[in-house]
Amino acid sequence: MSDFLFELGLEEIPARMIAGAEAELGRRVTDLLTREHLLAAGATVTTFSTPRRLAVLAERVLARQADTEEQLTGPSWKVAFKDDAPTAAAQAFAKKAGVDVSALQKVTTPKGEYVGATVKRAGRSASEILAADLPKEVLALYWAKNMYWRAGKPERFVRPVRWVVALLDSEVVPLEIAGIAAGRESRGHRILHGDAPVPVFQACDYSKSLLGAAVVVSVADRRQIIRKALDAVTRTVAGARWREDEPLVETVVHLTEWPSVILGNFDREFLALPEEVLVTVMRDHQKYFAVEDANGKLAPHFLAVLNTRADEEGAAIIRHGNQKVLVARFKDARFFWDFDQKTPLKDRVEGLKHVTFQKELGSYHWKTEQNLHVAQALAKLLKAKGTKFDEAALFQAVELAKTDLTTELVKEFTELQGIIGGLYARAQHLGERTALAIYEQYVPASMEDNIPVCVEGQLLGLGDRIQTIAAMFGIGMEPTGSKDPFALRRAANAVVKILAESELPLNLSEVVEAVAEIDGKTVDSVRAFLRERLNFYLKDVRGFAYDVVNAVLAAGADDVRDAIARAEGLAAARGSEDFVAVSAAFKRIKNILRQAEEKGFALGNSGNAKAVEAVGLRDAAARVAPEFEKLRGQRNYAEALALIATLRPTVDTFFDKVMVLDPDETLRGAHLALIHEVLSNFSTIADFSEIVTS
């Protein structure tokens, strides 16, 4: 039993690609070893990565495959041997099987006598297999962006391969990747260790050997070191906390081989800039963590994760350098902020004519006009329904929503569009509702986000997105398959989410119809698109079972919040045995009605039913119906559905005792009418025939 170590040494891999590649390499090595029967029981495969390497350690690898014996059957004996002499057929089979003709045996099967051969295959050594097959696996790793580096362009990879370590215990596996022969020499930290090679003598010593060269090869270890260091350094400021930022932690984990953390400071005067701007500069541009005081307010400090271990003097130099860069960036931001105030948002509407929204559609000025139409239509609906909101603030917000695209600050920090507009609106005293609506127009950006808190923001976001979706569909830019270049799915998800989680009394068709100037065909496809996103929302965000979602949407998919309530009711009812039985009965009813229709049987009058069980069902249904409608009206779907479940005994006896498709036409018509009534009266919450019952 051996340990197999493989390390691929590269020039710095982009941080965002490392985790995926590390996992994929682990999978590929595991699959290769499994495929080749080289993993012993209890084998483990561990992966490692740093910016300069991907590595895998497989423990309990067999030194060689077991020998195998395989029985091959060839042509019939009569064809293969004439007068005991081998024919061409026998020769060919022996050649194919890789045995001598004299080794062929007679095999007797129920079908007759055939030629057989026993093929013995000696197991190959792990070293041989890895040398032959691993390089292909490695070069097949997926990278979001590749490059060539060698003359003649023999291979593409994320960055140049600079060294390869491949060891079975202490023996080098003779493989070659991108022109580099594997050895036992790894490399250490660029600065802390320098260029001297780092020999790995035993595969299982990998982590330890690299630790000695100032490289922590385990991602989990680096993450822990960084988190602890962030905590420890922050503790030097009384009452301070660092702002949790998981994506940033992951980024710095993949930017370092030997992480440490320093605390830097900046002048309090910059705290006058909006927090959003400060945090964006620190996080997105400098990869610093923000620090807050005990009240959660931003404090004039930052944390930088270094890829080195500096002594006191070095730390002072590094801190000084980082502080200088940050202050210069803050000064830039302040310059842009002040500069932008010279032209208030109101004077920027005209300038939107020069900012393209979409080539075939028009500028953001056009977009703003369209959004105003949508907002007006939505406002009219809401007023009719008695919803309270600030109409003037809404229209002002819609008019100014995109003007921040012309500001220097948004040109510098594109990720802050909307937010900057909201901050400027506030600074320019355009009213808190207007400012907040503009600020929140792009949330929710994902399904984890909250929706805008103010009604005006919800309406702005809703109208903006539905207009975009409809206009894009109108010019044939709808998403197809995995392609969604304008992120229309995300926009539609946000529409559904806002309707689901706000109090807006709007259903999906009302929202779609608020967009003027789209044709009927586009309306239909946008509606279908939104319905598909509602399906996604119920399943993936709310976690309802797919059959519950199908059942609920089949009974109506326009009122989002109602669909959720019905799904909740149905999900609760679904646990009851009686309800499941009734669902099965409904499915049966649907099938019978379909058969009847195919055979041309007409619905009759349920009053003509004679059988006790049929009359019983009719009476029970008539008794339950008003109460069911009442509960449904109150959206008390769980109880309404529980009520349907009480029909089970009568439904069951009906199907047990009554022949629905009675030869007598009157009775048959009565039965069909009866079950049709039951089905249509009680399918208004969900189409139970969609429920998977067993």
Partner 1 sequence: MQSFWAERGCVLQQPYDVEVGAGTMAPETFLRVLGPRPYKVGYAQPSRRPADGRYGENPNRLFKHTQFQLILKPPPVNVQELYLESLEAMGIDLRQHDLKFEEDNWEWPAGGAWGVGWQVMLDGLEITQFTYFQQCGGLDLDPICAELTYGMERIAAFLQDVDSIYDIVWARDPETGAPITYGDVRLAEELQFSVYNFEYADVPRLWEHFNSFEAEAKSLLEQASAVLNDEKASPAEKRRFPLLATYELALKCSNLFNLLDARGAISVTERVGIIGRIRNLAVGVAKAYASQQAAGSQ
Per-residue tokens: 342: 């010279």
Closest CA to 39 of 56, 53, 18: 56
- 318 is an interface residue for partner 1 by CB under 8 A: yes
Residue 564-603 contact track with partner 1, rule CB under 8 A, x = bound? ----------------------------------------
Is 315 or 554 the residue whose CB approaches partner 1 more closely? 315
Sheet of 171-172: strands edge to edge?
39-50, 53-61, 2-10, 161-168, 171-172
Residue 439 CA to residue 433 CA, distance in Å, equals 10
**Which region among 7-15, 93-101, 510-518, 549-557 touches partner 1 (by CB under 8 A)?**
7-15
Position 102: which residue type?
A: S
Burial class from Cβ neighbours inside 10 Å (0-12, 13-18, 19+) for residue 506 reads: buried
Q: Give ∠ CA 446-449-451 in degrees, rounded to 5.
A: 110
Is 322 or 522 the residue whose CB approaches partner 1 more closely? 322
- 19 is an interface residue for partner 1 by CB under 8 A: no
Q: According to CB under 8 A, which residues from 239 to 258 bind partner 1?
A: 255-256
Is 11 or 347 the residue whose CB approaches partner 1 more closely? 11
Residue 672 CA to residue 676 CA, distance in Å, equals 6
Burial class from Cβ neighbours inside 10 Å (0-12, 13-18, 19+) for residue 392 reads: exposed
**Which region among 316-324, 390-398, 508-516, 537-545 touches partner 1 (by CB under 8 A)?**
316-324
Token pair 């944390």 is found at 303
**Which region among 147-155, 204-212, 265-273, 396-404 touches partner 1 (by CB under 8 A)?**
147-155
Q: List CB contacts of 69: < 8 A, sequence separation 6 or more.
A: 118, 119, 120, 121
CA atoms within 13 A on the CB side of 549: 17
Token pair 């100037």 is found at 517
**Which region among 13-21, 376-384, 552-560, 680-688 touches partner 1 (by CB under 8 A)?**
13-21
- Other C-beta atoms closer than 10 Å to the C-beta of 407 total 24
- 320 is an interface residue for partner 1 by CB under 8 A: yes
**Which region among 328-336, 460-468, 557-565, 600-608 touches partner 1 (by CB under 8 A)?**
328-336
CA–CA distances in Å: residue 463 to residues 405, 420, 441, 466, 513: 18, 20, 10, 5, 11
**Which region among 143-151, 165-173, 629-637, 648-656 touches partner 1 (by CB under 8 A)?**
143-151
Q: Which one of 14, 75, 86, 505 is in contact with partner 1 (CB under 8 A)?
A: 14
- 693 is an interface residue for partner 1 by CB under 8 A: no
Q: Which one of 162, 346, 561, 588 is in contact with partner 1 (CB under 8 A)?
A: 162
Q: According to CB under 8 A, which residues from 391 to 430 bind partner 1?
A: none
Instruction: Report the nearest approach of partner 1 to the CB of residue 542 (Å).
Output: 37
| Contacts of 103-107 spanning 24+ positions with Cβ under 8 A | 104/74, 104/80, 106/77, 107/73
Rounded to 5 degrees, φ, ψ at 624 are -75, -30
Instruction: Report the nearest approach of partner 1 to the CB of residue 11 (Å).
Output: 6
- 312 is an interface residue for partner 1 by CB under 8 A: no
Q: Which one of 103, 132, 147, 294 is in contact with partner 1 (CB under 8 A)?
A: 147
In sequence order, what E strands does 294-372 have? 298-306, 356-358, 362-363
Instruction: Report the nearest approach of partner 1 to the CB of residue 115 (Å).
Output: 55
- 51 is an interface residue for partner 1 by CB under 8 A: yes
- 331 is an interface residue for partner 1 by CB under 8 A: yes
**Which region among 148-156, 436-444, 577-585, 591-599 touches partner 1 (by CB under 8 A)?**
148-156
Q: What is the DSSP letter of 285?
A: I
Residue 189-228 contact track with partner 1, rule CB under 8 A, x = bound? -xxx--x---------------------------------
Residue 483-522 contact track with partner 1, rule CB under 8 A, x = bound? ----------------------------------------
Residues in the chain: 694
Between helices 612-633 and 648-657, what is the axis angle to 10°?
150
Q: Would you say 87 and 33 are in contact if contact means Cβ atoms under 8 Å apart?
A: no
**Which region among 325-333, 459-467, 596-604, 639-647 touches partner 1 (by CB under 8 A)?**
325-333
**Which region among 89-97, 145-153, 638-646, 678-686 touches partner 1 (by CB under 8 A)?**
145-153
Q: Which one of 169, 276, 293, 332 is in contact with partner 1 (CB under 8 A)?
A: 332
Is 223 or 590 the residue whose CB approaches partner 1 more closely? 223
Q: Which one of 28, 53, 159, 497 is in contact with partner 1 (CB under 8 A)?
A: 159
Per-residue tokens: 15: 């941080």
Residue 172-191 contact track with partner 1, rule CB under 8 A, x = bound? ------------------xx
Residue 343-362 contact track with partner 1, rule CB under 8 A, x = bound? -----------xxx--x---
Residue 260-289 contact track with partner 1, rule CB under 8 A, x = bound? --------------------------x-x-
Q: List CB contacts of 495: < 8 A, sequence separation 6 or more.
A: 462, 465, 466, 469, 508, 511, 530, 533
How far is CA 141 from its chain centroid?
A: 21
Q: Would you say 491 and 537 are in contact if contact means Cβ atoms under 8 Å apart?
A: no
> Measured between alpha carbons, how far apart are the two ends of the chain, in Å?
48
How many residues of this chain bind partner 1 (CB under 8 A)? 48
Is 14 or 123 the residue whose CB approaches partner 1 more closely? 14
Residue 272 CA to residue 286 CA, distance in Å, equals 20
How far is CA 388 from its chain centroid?
A: 36
Residue 388 CA to residue 379 CA, distance in Å, equals 10
**Which region among 208-216, 300-308, 437-445, 549-557 touches partner 1 (by CB under 8 A)?**
300-308
Token pair 């007023």 is found at 383
**Which region among 304-312, 388-396, 458-466, 530-538 touches partner 1 (by CB under 8 A)?**
304-312
**Which region among 266-274, 307-315, 496-504, 679-687 touches partner 1 (by CB under 8 A)?**
307-315
Q: List CB contacts of 66: < 8 A, sequence separation 6 or more.
A: 37, 123
Is 186 or 683 the residue whose CB approaches partner 1 more closely? 186
Q: Which one of 21, 43, 299, 304 is in contact with partner 1 (CB under 8 A)?
A: 304
Instruction: Report the nearest approach of partner 1 to the CB of residue 566 (Å).
Output: 47
CA–CA distances in Å: residue 287 to residues 144, 162, 251, 329, 448: 22, 27, 8, 13, 23
Instruction: Report the nearest approach of partner 1 to the CB of residue 309 (Å).
Output: 10
Is 82 or 353 the residue whose CB approaches partner 1 more closely? 353
Rounded to 5 degrees, φ, ψ at 21 are -70, -40
Sheet of 68-76: strands edge to edge?
68-76, 112-121, 105-109
Per-residue tokens: 410: 């948004």
Residues that bind partner 1 (CB under 8 A): 11-12, 14-16, 51, 145, 147-153, 159-160, 162, 190-192, 195, 255-256, 286, 288, 304, 306-308, 310, 313-314, 317-318, 320-322, 324-326, 328, 331-332, 335, 354-356, 359
